[in-house]
Structure formats: C-alpha cells, structure tokens
Chain A
C-alpha cells in the first residue's frame, strides 16, 4: 500500500512464546481513589514484570473532550501506573497517545484531567499523532496494510502498556487493549480519523497492529466503563475492576466475559488468538474469576448475538 523501499521489516516481532495458560488478573477496585497506587503496584508485582532499566510507554485511550463521562482512561489510573513502573526501576516511563478524531491532543488531555493529575504532564507525554516516524513493513499481514509509519516513541520502547477503558464499540463489539492500538498510527500522516484502518479492515488491522508490537502488557480501566453505543456516545457503566496481563487477547477475552460478551464473537480476538486460546479454561485467571465480577454491559440491538450465555 505504501512505498516500501525505505521500509524496514519488523524483524523483532516474534512474540514471546505464549504461556500455555497466560496469567490474567482481575482485581476489584470500586473507585478512582488513592488506593489505586497500591493496587496497580501490586498488580505489576504479581505479574513479575522486569522493567528495571527499561523504557516503558503507557498508552491510555484518549478520545473526546468530556471529563464528565467515561470515554477516556482515567488519569489517576495512568498516574498510578506511571508511579508503579518508576518504582519498579524503569529507566523511563512516558505516556503516549494519538487520538483518532480530535487533533489537539494536549487540549484533549487537559479536558480529561491529565494536567491536573499527572505532575509535569507536558514533560512525560508524547503526542503519537505528531511524533517522529519510521516506516515498517508488516510481516504476514492479514489486513490490506503493508507498510505502516509508526511513531518512534513506541518503536523504541521496551514495553508498551495498553491502558484502555472497558467499553462497547459500535463497529467492533468491544474496544479493549487490542483495539486501543489504533492510537499508535500517526494522524500527522494518516489524518483524523485514521480512516486507512477502516478500509484495510477493522478486525484485520487490529490483529496486524497487535502482531507488530511483541512486548506488550495490558492494564484495563474497568472501574467505570461504557455500555451501549460506545466508544463515545454510550452510557457510563460501573464495573469496579482492573484487569491486567501480558497476553492481550487473553486480557481482552477476560474483559469480554466481565462485560457479558462472548469473546469468540469478537472478530479480532478470534483472528489473533483462535478459539482454543480464548477459552476460559486456557486462561490462568488470578484474583477474581470473570463470572464473580460479571456485570452485563448493554449492547446495541445489532450486537445482541455477541451476548455471552449463562448470565
């Protein structure tokens, strides 16, 4: 699709060998309070993440100017993660996002409360829409994408932490840690929205972006999510959980079960991991079991078929 002469293939994209039963933690946390700092730190310790001396990028989901709803990842959770990774010895922790619709990212972050919550936010934040870029050729893409320009901030990090909001999505069914990777594409090249991903196939593009970044971790803001016509116009839905793990399809499958959605009916999950890997018995669920915290999210009429049975 793009000129590939100068492009480098992503050579290091061999994903870490998947654990037979990837660990996914579900922790109850009822509110955005100071206790988040301790909860997040303990979550990361449970997963034995070795980030000493590493460069970590936290990728929240910043979508819209509205601090009164549950569209954006809560800044207190992002700050808790920033502090936790620093305390674990990370050499550098940055927050980075490339919103898909609104192009004035710092205004968006300001409206979402990031400047108020994260000290010196300007200094630790990278607008991925306007970052330095490098073309990368995708290996064995399933979408129509071939070569993609990626921001150097994410290409150069040792660990990319996807921090989505627990939300339904009016095209993909659910938007979680994998769909959150759409924000990695630079709007400065592709525009607002990054419409190239829609023409290349939404589910397929999500799968390709996931494959392009092998060192990932997910920390999902499931305290207050969004149901119905997500990811922007839905209704706030309290779920009171944090969900974390280094296997993004397993994390997202777990989130789906919490939302009362059948993960096997989410196209990009099936495509990325296969039905067997998404089965609940093949995921090592730590702390809470999905059914113990299940709270069915309302689904749009056209999405009733993805409802998980056994409520």
Chain B
C-alpha cells in the first residue's frame, strides 16, 4: 500500500489532521490518533498535539463539532469517545457521554410521532433510538454504529444501566434497518416499497457495532459482508468490513489483499482506517480495547 499517506506527515501545525489537505477536522484527527494508538504510539509529540487540539475543540455542551467554525456539536462526539480511557482524562468526558446519551433521531421524538399520528391517523409504536449525524435530524446507520461503539467503551469505565440500555436500543435500531440482502446501507431500507441494497462500508460498521448480539440474528449480515469484501474496490469499505467481521469472530481477508488503486490518492481517514484494520487483524483492536 505504497500510495497511502504517512499519517504523521499530514498533521497540521495546530495538531489536528485534515481529510486531505487544509484545515483540521475532528473526524480525521480522531482516526489518525486511533491509528497511531493501534500501532502502540501513545505518548509521542504528534499524539500530545492532537489531544491538545481536541481538548481546545470541546464545546461547552460537552460535545465536539466537525470542525471549529461549526457551531453545533454533532456525531463526531462519539468518535472522540472511542479514544483510550487514558486519553479521555484530558477532556470533560462525563459531559461528552451525557451529550451523547441525550441525542436521538428526530423521528423517535414524541413531537414527530404525534405529528405523524395526526397526519396518518395511525399511532406508531415505539421506535428504537438511534443517533443522527446532525442535531434535530433523523437517526442513521453510521452515526448510530459509532455511538454504540463509543458507549460500549464508556460502559466499561462506567457500568450504568442508562448506557447499557442505550447500547441495546441502538442495536435494535440497527436491526430495524437491515436491508433485504442482509446488509446495511445508510439507513433507508425501502423507498416507496422498493428495497434498497446494502453498502459494504455501512455493513462492516454495523456488524462492528452489533458485537454481542445473538449470532443467529446476524447470519445473513455476516454472509453479505463476506460477499462485499470479495468484490469491494474501496479501501475504506474493506477496512470496515474487516473490522465488522472480526467483531463477529470471522477471520476476514488479510491486509495485502486490500484494494488500493494506483490511480488515486487516499485521505487521512482511509489511511488511518486501513492501519486500524490491519492492527486489529494482528490482535490489537483499538475500537474494542
């Protein structure tokens, strides 16, 4: 994988990482940190600068925004909570967990359900709570999966029922969004009655978040993930599929078979996820440690 960027060479002077070039964003900064941690680099200058950047970026409500000019805490708060417990001590982590616990998809709120019931004349049953990308919008597969991974780690540090229940509810949300082919897409399984196909990257991500669910419930999802991994030409998708299959105790394809196109450059996130997946295959899974 020669054309993958060297992560430390991409770090911005302010300590964060860009997606490709340019300003620092929370998401690539966290993935770069996780990749460095997965390789055992926990106390380097690059790591401490990144943690400083994240510390300065935490918002008064406890969350993080995608990047500094954005005046909203969003799903990336869950990403930050994936960092090792030793690093989270630098932030106001209890506030971040509280922020995450308080967020749900807009569609599961009582205002929306009441409005829907009045329009349709049908009372909808309780919808499992997932997480949105952006506040006051609907819940989707990817942010829900990341939130579950984050809260599972939070539960190891702080075994509260509230955290456990949200993880379980989030997993039920994911199970309510299984596509007809057994995998997951962004979260819209049907449009006007037509089945939507699953995507490889979200199938892997959902399987990672569904670790611990009764194996029988995930047989089709695992099968679909293995099919996706055989055909996917996307490095990021392959990385998530590997992580998802590992979470389900399957031994996926080894790193050298990952699809890296010589035609194009790769971003921080793709490179970092490839490192995270490779290290997980070697027994060090930073998403679960």
Cross-chain contact B264 with A122 (CB below 8 angstroms): yes
Chain B residues near A121: list those with CB within 8 A.
263-264
Cross-chain contact B69 with A196 (CB below 8 angstroms): no
Cross-chain contact B265 with A122 (CB below 8 angstroms): yes
Cα–Cα distance between A143 and B106 once the two chains are bound (Å): 18
Chain B residues near A233: list those with CB within 8 A.
191, 194, 196
Chain A residues near B237: list those with CB within 8 A.
104, 107
Is B71 interfacial (CB 8 A cutoff)? Answer: yes
Cα–Cα distance between A309 and B106 once the two chains are bound (Å): 40
Q: Which of A115, A132, A198 contacts B264 (CB 8 A)?
A: A115
A-B contact count (CB 8 A): 115
Q: What is the CB-to-nearest-CB distance from B237 to chain A, in angstroms, rounded to a whole number?
A: 7
Cross-chain contact A195 with B69 (CB below 8 angstroms): no
Stretch with Cβ within 8 A of B (4 or more), from A89-97, A172-180, A184-192, A246-254: A184-192
Number of residues of chain B lying within 8 A (CB) of chain A: 44
Q: Mark B8-32, 1 if CB is under 8 A from A, else 0.
A: 0000000000011011010100000
Is A265 interfacial (CB 8 A cutoff)? Answer: no
Assuming A191-B143, A196-B137, is B267 touching A107 (CB within 8 A)?
no
Q: What is the CB-to-nearest-CB distance from B64 to chain A, in angstroms, rounded to a whole number?
A: 13
Assuming A122-B264, A122-B265, A130-B267, is B234 touching A195 (CB within 8 A)?
no
Q: Which of B67, B72, B134, B264 contacts A106 (CB 8 A)?
A: B264
Chain B residues near A103: list those with CB within 8 A.
142, 201
Assuming A102-B199, A104-B270, A170-B191, is B185 touching A189 (CB within 8 A)?
no
User: Interface SS of chain B: helix, strand, loop or mixed?
Assistant: loop
* CB closest residue in chain A, given B235: A107
Interface residues on A, range: 35 or more
Chain A residues near B69: list those with CB within 8 A.
6, 133-135, 149
* CB closest residue in chain B, given A233: B194
Cross-chain contact B27 with A104 (CB below 8 angstroms): no
Is B173 interfacial (CB 8 A cutoff)? Answer: no
Q: What is the CB-to-nearest-CB distance from B265 to chain A, in angstroms, rounded to a whole number?
A: 6
Cross-chain contact A195 with B191 (CB below 8 angstroms): no
Chain A residues near B199: list those with CB within 8 A.
101-102
Is B99 interfacial (CB 8 A cutoff)? Answer: no
Cα–Cα distance between A188 and B136 once the two chains are bound (Å): 16
Cα–Cα distance between A13 and B143 once the two chains are bound (Å): 34
17 contacts between A and B (CB under 8 A): A2-B71, A104-B234, A107-B237, A121-B263, A122-B263, A132-B23, A134-B69, A149-B69, A190-B134, A192-B142, A193-B186, A193-B188, A195-B137, A229-B191, A229-B192, A300-B192, A302-B192
Residues of B within 8 A of A (CB): 19-20, 22-23, 25, 27, 66-67, 69-72, 74-75, 106, 132-134, 136-138, 140, 142-143, 185-186, 188, 191-192, 194, 196, 199, 201, 233-237, 261, 263-265, 267, 270
Residues of A within 8 A of B (CB): 2-3, 5-6, 101-104, 106-107, 110-111, 115, 121-122, 127, 130-135, 149, 170, 188-193, 195-196, 198-199, 229, 232-233, 300, 302
